[in-house]
């Protein structure tokens, strides 16, 4: 939610990239975080200069085209997901601060006490030109700078007056060699170069330029010059133990690689994504989770698991519930993170909380996890983004290793999350002795087959794409599933809503006759995820009956069934096949046709698949 970049450095003149170009390059990588407006600020000889435009980054680039921008050493940039104030040029960042516009600032997050601060600053003669909460921070830092003359001290004095969540980056006319940044409950990382340094909301901001990064902790201030990075806390104590790491993602991972969209590319990376999540964690049939830094005795005492997550990550958690309860016999709840802490949940020292988040920055999930920790619960984070807040604050972190997910709609991270949940479930079963070693080995052997099966489904993409193109004018699509097919139905519907803007709903197939069947009329398309005929009890035949029930009422039945399941043929208008696997592993396969369907349908409608309206990749506000 909002992307922030900062750059300090003087590139050799044979490199045409000026600081403003480095900032624009970083913004292009971060645009998935928000695209309501974009802006940059540079320091020129006569002061701070800003350029900002409503809409996507292209508008800013067009506005800057042909403009003379100085080659000063410092630039900051921002791509916005609007919270306070409409997405207009005026509300775009950077904001100027001070009575002589001597400072520029960008902000990610929400400043909760902006109203009294704004009133105070206005009474002192500071002039506000936007409706944003962020402009308060610009004037505050500028005011403190006029008192202290040191940008770091000014930033510290300002952040100590702010309530809420923020990452701030500021540049000032009187400190032309530096960018000063601060973070509280909002992401910020430092990129380390040779004679140049970078700041970003995440590493994508600078991965084109360096793969060496530095974590910035909660409530810390960073002062970045071309040759130095100094980190201190909000009380002024310097942080000497800095956490440096090398980014594994390469630049190619942040490019489309011949696909029309990042989403299409990421869908087609899913066989590798599952393989990479499993990599190094299975050895001769035994499961190794070195990063599970929670004591085994604590894991043995767990009497309840609560998964907290949002959106797609919550759907991955719903799959986890079926697997963990089945393998470990531990009651498992899945709770939308934003609902969790407000209902006074029962959490004890014996509760294990699993926080699932691709970005590792989702504020709702972070707050839910902190609430659980305050009650004494241990938290395992399942995340994709290294150095992000959720895994850093968790008691243990399982990383997905699926590479950067750029498209706003989550796909490969979903498969990675489900795979990581399987690993966690099997690990708990191993530690607690719920399954025999040979049972775990057999399960893991089957799990290792999944990348091949995922590839088989991907190889059949053309058939699904043709179906999607033929349905581009659909007004509503329903999705039905049962058992682990239910989260798949929810996720399939979410994908279609968010990128194709089509009304879509996922239902538990058994719930149909309790109300939703009233929606079915002649020609209504309904995807049905059919469980394996070799699966539990009579689930398969019940779902086949559901297909008959909706077809009798005119539904167009689009059926996802495993290879060889011919029972569905008489009642299906379309059958999409997935390879055979264990029932609990099927969600890794059955979602793929639905992802391809949404992606292709949105493309056929001419929509921006990677940057759907009103959304942002990383939701860092509550
Ligand atoms: C949907 C989607 C969102 C995210 C949700 C949680 O395609 O991407 O629903 O899954 O906002 O995000 P993370 O996983 O970053 O916490």
In the chain, what are the domains? 3-247 (3.60.20.10), 254-448 (3.40.50.10490), 455-616 (3.40.50.10490)
- For the chain, the average pLDDT equals 92
- Residue pair 106/78 in contact (Cβ under 8 Å)? The answer is yes
pLDDT at 15: 55
Which of 52, 412, 497, 617 is an active site residue?
A: 617
pLDDT, tens digit (0-9, with 9 covering 90-100), for 485-497:
999 999 999 999 9
- pLDDT bucket at 503, cuts 50 / 70 / 90: very high
pLDDT at 256: 79
How many angstroms is it from 354 CA to the middle of ligand 1?
15
- Residue pair 170/122 in contact (Cβ under 8 Å)? The answer is no
pLDDT at 12: 61
pLDDT, tens digit (0-9, with 9 covering 90-100), for 562-587:
999 999 999 999 999 999 999 999 99
Averaged pLDDT, 176-201: 94
Q: Does 202 score more than 90 pLDDT?
A: no
Alpha helices in 17-160 (DSSP H): 19-30, 57-64, 114-123, 134-148, 151-159
Q: Does 183 score more than 70 pLDDT?
A: yes
Q: Does 37 score more than 60 pLDDT?
A: yes
Report residues whose beta carbon is within 6 angstroms of any ligand 1 atom: 310-313, 357-359, 362, 365, 409-410, 494, 498, 618-619
- Residue pair 171/48 in contact (Cβ under 8 Å)? The answer is yes
Averaged pLDDT, 277-302: 88
> Kind and range of the H or E element at 615?
none
- Residue pair 38/92 in contact (Cβ under 8 Å)? The answer is yes
Q: Is 617 annotated in the active site?
A: yes
Q: Does 417 score more than 80 pLDDT?
A: yes
Ligand 1 pocket test, pick from 32, 358, 366, 408 with the greatest ligand atom count within 8 Å of Cβ, gives 358
Q: Does 357 score more than 90 pLDDT?
A: yes
pLDDT at 537: 66
pLDDT, tens digit (0-9, with 9 covering 90-100), for 516-546:
889 999 999 999 999 998 876 688 999 999 9
pLDDT at 138: 98
Please choose, from the candidates 47, 156, 37, the residue with its C-alpha nearest in 3D space to the C-alpha of residue 98.
47
Token representation of residue 84: 């306070």
pLDDT, tens digit (0-9, with 9 covering 90-100), for 297-354:
999 999 999 999 999 999 999 999 999 999 999 999 999 999 998 888 999 999 999 9
pLDDT, tens digit (0-9, with 9 covering 90-100), for 63-97:
888 777 666 789 999 998 877 778 888 899 999 99
> Kind and range of the H or E element at 141?
helix 134-148
Distance, CA of 176 to CA of 86 (rounded, Å): 31
pLDDT at 536: 64
3-state secondary structure of 112: coil
Residue-wise DSSP of 245-298: EE----GGGGS-TT-SSHHHHHHHTHHHHHHHHHTTSEETTEE--TT--S-HHH
End-to-end C-alpha distance for the chain, whole angstroms: 11
Token representation of residue 424: 């966690």
Cα-trace Rg, the chain: 25
Q: Does 13 score more than 60 pLDDT?
A: no
Q: Does 602 score more than 70 pLDDT?
A: yes
SS3 content of the chain, % helix, strand, coil (to 5): 40, 25, 35
Output the residue whose Cα is nearest ligand 1's atom 16: 357
Residue-wise DSSP of 577-610: EE----GGGTHHHHHHHHHHHHHHHHHHTT--SS
- Residue pair 474/286 in contact (Cβ under 8 Å)? The answer is no
Residue with tokens 């040759």: 227
- pLDDT bucket at 234, cuts 50 / 70 / 90: very high
pLDDT at 71: 65
CA distances from 281 to 21, 232, 419, 428, 445 (A): 41, 37, 11, 14, 12
Strands 304-309 and 332-336: parallel
């Amino acid at each position: 939610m909002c992307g922030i970049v900062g750059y300090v450095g003087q590139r050799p003149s044979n490199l045409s990239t000026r600081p403003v170009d480095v900032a624009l390059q970083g913004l292009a990588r971060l645009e998935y975080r928000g695209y309501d407006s974009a802006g940059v600020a540079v320091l020129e000889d006569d002061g701070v200069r800003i350029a900002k435009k409503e809409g996507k980054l292209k508008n800013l680039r067009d506005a800057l085209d042909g403009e003379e921008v100085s080659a000063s050493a410092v630039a900051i940039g921002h791509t916005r997901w609007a919270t306070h104030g409409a997405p207009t040029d005026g509300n775009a960042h950077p904001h100027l601060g001070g009575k002589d516009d001597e400072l520029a600032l960008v902000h990610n997050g929400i400043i909760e006490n902006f109203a009294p601060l704004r009133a105070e600053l206005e009474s002192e003669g500071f002039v506000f030109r936007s409706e944003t909460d962020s402009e308060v921070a610009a004037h505050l830092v500028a005011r403190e700078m006029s008192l202290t003359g040191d940008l770091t001290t000014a930033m510290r004095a300002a952040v100590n007056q702010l309530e809420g969540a923020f990452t701030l980056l500021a540049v000032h006319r009187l400190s032309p060699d530096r960018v000063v940044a601060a973070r509280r409950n909002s992401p910020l990382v430092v990129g380390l170069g040779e004679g140049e340094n970078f700041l970003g909301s995440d590493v994508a901001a600078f991965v084109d330029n360096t793969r060496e990064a530095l974590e910035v902790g909660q409530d810390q201030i960073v002062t970045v010059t071309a040759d130095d990075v100094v980190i201190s806390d909000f009380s002024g104590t310097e942080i000497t133990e800095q956490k440096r790491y090398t980014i594994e993602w390469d630049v190619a991972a942040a490019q489309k690689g011949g696909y029309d969209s990042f989403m299409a590319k990421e869908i087609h990376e899913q066989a590798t994504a599952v393989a990479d999540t499993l990599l190094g964690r299975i050895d001769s049939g035994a499961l190794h989770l070195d990063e599970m830094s929670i004591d085994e005795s604590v894991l043995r005492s767990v009497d309840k698991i609560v998964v907290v997550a949002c959106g797609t990550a919550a759907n991955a958690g719903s799959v986890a519930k079926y697997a963990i309860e089945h393998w470990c016999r531990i009651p498992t709840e899945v709770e939308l993170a934003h609902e969790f802490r407000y209902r006074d949940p029962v959490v004890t020292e014996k509760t294990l909380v699993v926080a699932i988040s691709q970005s590792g920055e989702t504020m709702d999930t972070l707050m839910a996890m902190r609430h659980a920790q305050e009650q004494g619960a241990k938290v395992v984070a399942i995340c994709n983004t290294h150095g992000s807040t959720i895994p850093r604050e968790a008691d243990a972190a399982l990383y997905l290793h699926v590479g950067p997910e750029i498209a706003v709609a989550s796909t490969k991270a979903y498969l990675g999350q489900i795979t990581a949940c399987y690993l966690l479930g099997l690990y708990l079963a191993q530690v607690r002795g719920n399954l025999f070693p040979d049972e775990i080995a057999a399960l893991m052997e089957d799990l290792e087959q999944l990348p091949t099966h995922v590839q088989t489904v991907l190889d059949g993409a053309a058939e699904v794409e043709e179906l999607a193109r033929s349905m581009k004018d659909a007004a509503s699509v329903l999705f039905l599933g049962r058992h682990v097919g239910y989260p798949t139905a929810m996720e399939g519907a979410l994908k279609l809503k968010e990128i194709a803007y089509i009304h879509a709903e996922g239902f538990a197939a058994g719930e149909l006759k309790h109300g939703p069947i009233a929606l079915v009329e002649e020609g209504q398309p309904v995807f049905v995820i059919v469980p394996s005929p070799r699966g539990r009890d009579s689930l398969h035949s019940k779902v086949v009956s559901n297909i008959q029930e909706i077809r009798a009422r005119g539904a167009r039945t689009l059926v996802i069934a495993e290879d060889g399941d011919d029972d569905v043929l008489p009642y299906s208008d379309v059958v999409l096949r997935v390879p055979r696997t264990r029932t609990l592993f099927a969600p890794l396969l059955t979602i793929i046709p639905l992802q391809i369907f949404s992606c292709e349908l949105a493309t056929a409608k001419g929509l921006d698949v990677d940057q759907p309206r009103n959304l942002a990749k990383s939701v860092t506000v509550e």
